[in-house]
Structure 1
Amino acid sequence: MHRLIRRAWRSAGTVACGMVLCLSAATVPAQAASARSVPEGATVNARDRATAAVDAMMGFYDEETGRWDPDSPWWQSGNALQALLDHMAKTGSRTYLPQAEHTVEIQRRPLPWWPEGGGEFRADSTDDTGWWALAMTRMYDLTRDKKYLDIARLDEAYLREYWDDTCGGGIWWDIPGRTYKNAISAELYIQLLASLHNRVPGDKVYLARALDAWHWFEKSGMINDQHLVNDGLNTQSGGCANNGGTTWTYNQGVILGALAELYKATGDRRLLTSARKIADAVVTSPELSPKGILTEPCESRGDCNADQASFKGIFARNLAELDAVLPGHPYRGYLRAQARSAYTYDRNSLDQYGLNWSGPFDSADIGRQESAVSLLTAVL
């Protein structure tokens, strides 16, 4: 809740479009102007479903700010950008590349609530910077424009400033308070380091840092006895023990993508073994995969906030990254089951998706939609 309140306050100083469907006709390609819907009863393939979800997601895009729903948490626009870029990478489409480039140019500027960050996606929470930095590596993949890789490298340098020896290592989540070392900041940092190594010719520094960060994370205690990742460490108490925090799905997912990227860099199959323990724990968990469908822990309580609505798509994206490097693609069936369920039970007539992939559809917002886009892209 602290995160939601803080980020809602951030949005107050941002110009909003005043309504959800805020793209002008000049901004949206004609075929997407009404969030292209797949007709009821029509036979559609996985690419059509994913593309329709992307078109619906672009209905939340605000040209003026370059954000998806300016009233939503800032990091979610970075995650929506990642979802959009992943879809482009999978399909070869460049329909929305101008919007992606526009978003980067506006949102890389110094933030109103954190001008001392100096721009280039430098925020007062290290995980915020991590989401945008990873999207920059995908922008580089798509465009081969080195400026995006340079931005990601500047973001890595910024994150590095908040790594220290407290608890033996790890990145502080909150700036400038430095009160909490959590899983997501560390996981994003490992994934960013490995991604940079795999894109910077002749690199040794990023790889060494990535391996050091993973070895610290593996021994930090955040991975519990059930092979699930809790939210963080008790840094305030000085004990640096696992805080027993919620096993959010995105905390399980990002480390899978990080280990897949590290495996590409090293060929070390022990990394895949570690990743599979976490992935298997999720897909067999009665809490996280009841009846085989991925479910956020907050769903049963009915209190998921704007951040948590987007977590499952992050897991799906990263599980697909892991699955792609594993012989036999053992998680492909699980991912397809999620996509089938969400499409059948959790979608409205505008190809907008709700929170619970088992259904029924509840409401539409950018967190729910970007999550669905990542899921539907993951099975392509």
Structure 2
Amino acid sequence: MSSVTVKGVAAAGPGDADTVRAAIGAMNAFYNETTGLWDTGPWWHSGVALRAVAEYMLITGSEEYFDMAAYTVDTQRAPLDWWPEGGGDFRADSTDDTGWWALALASLYEVTGNSTYLDLAKVDEAYMYDYWNTTTCGGGLIWNIPSRTYHNAISNELYLELTAKLHNLIPGDTYYLDQALKEWDWFNETGMINSNGLVNDGLTEDDSCVNNGQPVWSYNQGVVLAGLVELSIATDDASYIDIAQGIADAVVNDASLSPAGILTESACATADECEPNGTAFKGIFIRGLAKVNAALDDHPYQSYIQKNAQSAYDNARNSTDFYGFAWQGPFDSGTIGRQESAVDLLLSTL
């Protein structure tokens, strides 16, 4: 395959496609052309990076990363040694890891029209739904497949976005819409959205199945926003956007999550505390927020998105377009999570 690292791109600032391309070029310095993965992060981070690359191509009309995307999918279709029996085709040992890759595949189908990617996303949806719980908590996906434990927010939010998106991609579909509505009805009744309008991490593992009060991670706010936008499109029902706006407002107005208007992962104060997963979370939130922003005529979150992007560009970027963890700055070098988070942020300004 051809080299995927972009060098020498002039980054003009947030809102400019070349700025995003420069950040992708830095992100692709982590890309391993032997494994087809982005190094220095857990496996699911590569799914997020792949989705970001696909969405860059979708937004800009570029075909620059087609070869890389195809190679990544080809290398990751075979079962890895830690996958469960029957794995492969991105069917991992947790439902959320499967979901990240399924969304990347759906985005690749959008940009390429290659039905192989859509078929793989369908396979992954079916695999996720195999772990819909029929014995406790009234339903919902469980997270950990080997132990059959934990109803968490992220797995169910990813399933909501995936099924609603599949419906929107497939003319005449009814199955995926029914699944998306089933997921949302269950999720909305669980109490995972707390009294402050924010999503906690999951449900208790006893028979009560109530909000476990675990951290309010930014990505748990973002994925449900993206899912609700897809569901609104699927149903032509603006009430889902109203719900999404309530969650978005809760994040934007929260003093811990948005001090001085800059998104902050308040559940872990430093990049080291957030590794290996949490460094990618903030970009995932901004991606969802941008989808809500685009769905509203007055674009109420545009200034928040732009402020965060400008702060990251001015204060958390080095001379070669790598970005640090804290968008307030200062720059700190590190891992794929930091960089893919910045790519999602910058994509949201286009």
TM-score of the aligned structures, taking structure 2 as reference length: 0.96
- The answer to whether residue 86 in structure 2 is matched with residue 111 in structure 1 is no
Q: Residues 107-134 of structure 1: CA distance to partner in whole angstroms, max 9, x if unpaired?
A: 1211211151331100001000000000
Contact 2:92/2:98 (CA < 8 Å) preserved in 1? yes
Q: How far apart, CA to CA, are the structure 2 residues paired with 1:44 and 1:341? A: 10
Please tell me the residue identity of whatever aligns with 2:305: L
Which range moved further: 221-230 or 117-126? Answer: 117-126
Q: After the TM superposition, which residues 269-348 of structure 1 pair with which residues of structure 2 at under 5 Å, given as runs? A: 269-300=238-269, 303-348=273-318
Amino acid at match of 2:183: A
Query: How far off its partner does 1:96 sit?
Result: 1.6
Q: CA RMSD in A?
A: 1.6
CA distance in 1, matches of 2:245, 2:52: 23
Amino acid at match of 1:352: F
After superposition, where does 1:46-57 map in structure 2 within 5 Å?
46-57=16-27
Q: Percent identity at matched positions?
A: 53
Q: Report how far residue 44 of structure 1 moved.
A: 8.0
Equivalent of 1:251, from 193, 208, 220? 220
Q: What is the aligned counterpart of 1:133 among 83, 99, 102?
A: 102
Aligned residues: 348
Q: Deviations over 1:59-117 (max 9, x none)?
A: 11011000001x42000000010111111111111112101110001112112111513
1:211 equivalenced with 2:186 (yes/no):
no
Equivalent position amino acid for 1:50 in 2: V
Range moving further from structure 2, 185-194 or 162-171: 162-171
Q: How many Å separate the matches in 2 of 1:117 and 1:344?
A: 47
Q: How far does the alpha carbon of each residue in 1:174-204 deviate from its partner, in whole angstroms, 9 at most, with x for none?
A: 0121121100000000100001111112111
C-alpha distance in 1 between matches for 2:139 and 2:84: 27
Instruction: Quote how far apart the aligned CAs of 1:251 are.
Output: 0.1
In the alignment, does 2:31 pair up with 1:36?
no
8 Å CA contact 2:223–2:288 kept in 1: the answer is: yes
Name the structure 1 match of 2:328: 358
Q: Offset of 1:361 from its aligned partner?
A: 0.5
AA in 2 matched with 1:102: Y
User: Which secondary structure state, in structure 1, belongs to the residue aligned with residue 248 of structure 2?
Assistant: helix
- The answer to whether the Cα contact below 8 Å between 2:30 and 2:38 also exists between their aligned partners in 1 is yes
Written as runs of structure 1 = structure 2, the 5 A alignment for 1:133-282 is 133-165=102-134, 166-235=136-205, 237-282=206-251
Aligned to 1:22: none
Q: What is the distance in 1 between the residues matched to 2:334 and 2:291?
A: 27
Per-residue CA deviation, residues 339-372 of structure 1 (Å, 9 max, x unaligned), is 1000000001110000000000011310000000
Could you tell me how far apart the structure 2 residues matched to 1:81 and 1:245 are? 29
Deviation at 1:46, TM superposition (A): 2.0
Unaligned 5+ segments in structure 1 are 1-25
Moved over 4 A (4+): 42-45
For residues 123-182 of structure 1, the C-alpha deviation after alignment (integer angstroms, 9 at most, x for no partner) is 001000000000111010011111111101110110110002320111000012112110
Task: Return closer, same or farther for 1:138/1:95 CA change in 2, 3 Å cut-off.
Answer: same
> Scaled by the length of structure 1, what TM-score is found?
0.88
| Other-structure match for 2:57 | 88
Q: How far apart are 1:256 and its partner, in Å? A: 0.2
| Superposed displacement of residue 52, structure 1 | 0.7
User: SS state of the match for residue 169, structure 2?
Assistant: coil
Q: Which residue matches 1:123?
A: 92
Q: 1: CA distance between counterparts of 2:172 and 2:105?
A: 20
- Give the Å deviation of 1:259: 0.3
Cα distance in structure 1, aligned partners of 2:240 and 2:334: 37
Structure 1 distance, partners of 2:195, 2:235, is: 27
2:216–2:267 Cα contact (<8 Å) kept: no
CA distance in 2, matches of 1:256, 1:43: 26
Q: Aligned partners of 1:83, 1:254: CA distance in 2, in Å?
A: 14
| 1:120 maps to amino acid | D
For residues 306-336 of structure 1, give each alpha carbon's deviation from its aligned partner in whole angstroms, at most 9, with x where no partner exists: 2000000101111111211111111111111
Secondary structure at the counterpart of residue 85 of structure 2:
helix
